[in-house]
Structure 1
Amino acid sequence: MKQILILILFFCSFTVNAQLTPVNKKLLLTMEDSLNLYSKKMVMAQDPSTRFYADSVFIKKFVQALKVPGSFEYAFDSVKTVSKLYAPDSLFRIYTWEIQKDESYFRQFGAIQMHTTDGSLKLFPLFDQSDYASIPTDSVRTNRNWIGAIYYQVVMKEFNGKKYYTLIGLDDNDFTSTRKWIEVLYFDANGQPVFGGDFFTYRNEDNKPEQPVARFCLEFKKDAKARLNYDKQLDIITFDHLVSETANDNSKYNLIPDGDYEGFKWSNGKWVHVSKIFAEQKLKDGEAPVPVPFRDDDGNPLN
């Protein structure tokens, strides 16, 4: 009975330490004021050197804040220039942001904060190596050679008992084009983050990329406002079908949406390409539209 009581007391204290205490919350609130100041400077300062200096100060102060026990639960609501996304199962929280040097140069920064039972910090910094990737879609990567993006959605899927986290994000890229990304993140047997892999299936050769893809990129004309989002109700990733606005040039900076939508549907551990999501339906008088079953490009139903 004494041993059981000791175990109960141990786990109770363990749980209390994992929570964000009022004292630590007050401390983080104070630290957040400084984070907010530097996060604004790293985006809004007129001089690029000031922006990058503010970013370096922000990173140091942010890591200090994350070291406060229970910081995983703290919202950092006022730091609006940083994307803060929880995994659906709360395994981790991913932070991403972007610094602009000039109209032709953007760099992303980020970190993955893992949930820990004792509230201590376990952090994986993300190092953007996009500048050194001639084909950024072609390789599996780690947090140290990450293809940068500001993530705005995270979707969790499971296959054969393993969890996969699909990250959807934005890269302002340069003055001619914008990129949006679909990146699959998972954790290996040692708990290390892995970005990318054999997760995208194309059944129609007309839509299949020339190079194998470890991640999906939608690149389009600057300010064309192409959509790429996960639709929870449909359980599908949808994105604009792009066409060139000029007859003779299919360069990425000429691609714009044409009103049709493509997508990816999760099936058997893969994101399976769907070439046309919203198929046209001819309705008789009095009929209501009904969802069209999702099929791959061979016409097979996707469960």
Structure 2
Amino acid sequence: MAKKPLLSLLLVFISLLALAQQPDAAGLKQLMRNQDTLQVLSQDIFNGKGDDGRQRATEAFIPLLVRTLKTKYSFRFPFDSLKTISIQYPQDSTFRIFTWALERENGFYRHFGAIQMNTPDGQLKLFPLFDASDYITNTDTIGDNKSWYGCLYYNIVHRHYFNKEYYTLFGWDANNPRSQKKIVEMLTFKNGTPVLGGPFFSFAEDSTPKPTRNRFIIEYKKESTATLNYNKELDMIVFDHLISETNEPMKKFTYVTDMDYEGFKWQAGKWMHVNKIFHDAIPLGKGAPTPQPLDQKKKSMTQPKSAEDFQQETPKKPAQKKKQ
């Protein structure tokens, strides 16, 4: 009989603790006021007039975001009106990542971001992300927040192995006028600071093993679509197998999906490559389905979509009734 009062007291304590970790009334008011200004600036970053206008919006957005996050317990504030800023959380909510893209008039992109840690005392602990992708000649590297392979993160998958936390980040890079990229890399923390990349993508089980990669990237045609994401049902990373539509494998901007899929499965602290996920043969006399081209007007800077996403959103034609 004594267990119920103890349980009730524990629940009350947890509720009070949660309330104590929220911004106070003055802090919440300041967060909401600053969010309104950030929302306007974020729209200007996305579709402002010319390179200069978008750059000025970015230069105003960054210091205001930092000042705003200095509000005690700002981690609890969702910033849900910032529609062109991607904000991703892992399952354990130990941090969140802000990322956004600045498009230049020449069709190239620069990325910005920051990792905000969820601190017990509500004080700000922030790691700014500096996009070094223009200067990285070897993408298979291990870096930190000052040597970030810039992208827009759209998913985080958390794994625990041997008393250590591993966070798999999925990102999209609009790249340039001819091609786009999707990226998967591991985020870990060493002495409290972020480490981006690492030898976690293994091809040891392939028939022809290849070296383990620190970061896995697919690059493909600008007008095409490709999947690279975690599939909960399969408990795997799934991605499109790509081929050059012009039989020029050195030209990544010619790559499109051939409707086959590869993947990675989590095994002993690594993502192990799976060469082929689905083994269903296409019925004789029927060609492979044609991937739906990407409508650039539907492109989302915070939720990049795969061919499957677009196909699911396309309304299906109603079935015609059979004549009696």
Q: TM-score range by the shorter chain?
A: 0.7 to 0.9
Q: Tell me the secondary structure at the aligned position of residue 59 of structure 2.
A: helix
Count of paired positions = 268
Name the CA distance, whole Å, in 1 between partners of 2:248 and 2:196. Answer: 35
Is the Cα–Cα contact under 8 Å of residues 180 and 217 in structure 1 kept in the other structure? Answer: yes
Query: 1:213–1:104: structure 2 CA closer, same or farther, 3 Å change rule?
Result: farther
Name the CA distance, whole Å, in 2 between partners of 1:125 and 1:91. Answer: 16
Q: Tell me the secondary structure at the aligned position of residue 26 of structure 1.
A: helix
Report the residue type matching 1:39 in the other structure: S
Name the CA distance, whole Å, in 2 between partners of 1:15 and 1:259. Answer: 47
Name the CA distance, whole Å, in 2 between partners of 1:185 and 1:249. Answer: 30
Q: Tell me the secondary structure at the aligned position of residue 134 of structure 2.
A: helix
Matches within 5 A, 1:25-174: 25-136=28-139, 138-174=140-176
Q: Tell me the secondary structure at the aligned position of residue 132 of structure 1.
A: coil
| Residue 196 (structure 1) aligns with | 197
Query: 1:102–1:18: structure 2 CA closer, same or farther, 3 Å change rule?
Result: same
Misfit runs of 4+, over 6 Å: 11-15
2:280 matches 1:280: yes
Deviation at 1:208, TM superposition (A): 3.4
> What are the ranges of 5 or more consecutive residues in structure 2 without an aligned counterpart?
1-13, 283-324
Is the Cα–Cα contact under 8 Å of residues 133 and 148 in structure 2 kept in the other structure? Answer: yes
Report the residue type matching 2:166 in the other structure: Y
Is the Cα–Cα contact under 8 Å of residues 241 and 259 in structure 1 kept in the other structure? Answer: yes
Name the CA distance, whole Å, in 1 between partners of 2:157 and 2:33. Answer: 32
Deviation at 1:21, TM superposition (A): 2.5
Deviation at 1:101, TM superposition (A): 1.4
Name the CA distance, whole Å, in 2 between partners of 1:125 and 1:58. Answer: 13
Query: 1:12–1:155: structure 2 CA closer, same or farther, 3 Å change rule?
Result: closer
Name the CA distance, whole Å, in 1 between partners of 2:208 and 2:43. Answer: 44
Name the CA distance, whole Å, in 2 between partners of 1:23 and 1:201. Answer: 50
Question: Residue by residue, what CA displacement relative to the aligned partner does 1:124-164 show, whole Å, maximum 9, x if unpaired?
Answer: 0000000111122x211000001011000000011111000
Worse-matched range after superposition: 58-67 or 249-258: 249-258
Deviation at 1:249, TM superposition (A): 4.6
Is the Cα–Cα contact under 8 Å of residues 241 and 260 in structure 2 kept in the other structure? Answer: yes
Report the residue type matching 1:35 in the other structure: L
TM-score normalised to structure 2 length: 0.78
Is the Cα–Cα contact under 8 Å of residues 17 and 118 in structure 1 kept in the other structure? Answer: no
Deviation at 1:247, TM superposition (A): 2.6
Deviation at 1:27, TM superposition (A): 1.7
Identity among equivalent pairs (%)? 44
Report the residue type matching 1:195 in the other structure: L
Question: Residue by residue, what CA displacement relative to the aligned partner does 1:234-260 show, whole Å, maximum 9, x if unpaired?
Answer: 111101000110134541000000101
| Residue 230 (structure 1) aligns with | 230
Is the Cα–Cα contact under 8 Å of residues 180 and 222 in structure 2 kept in the other structure? Answer: yes
Q: Tell me the secondary structure at the aligned position of residue 60 of structure 1.
A: helix
Q: Tell me the secondary structure at the aligned position of residue 104 of structure 2.
A: strand
Deviation at 1:104, TM superposition (A): 3.8
2:251 matches 1:251: yes
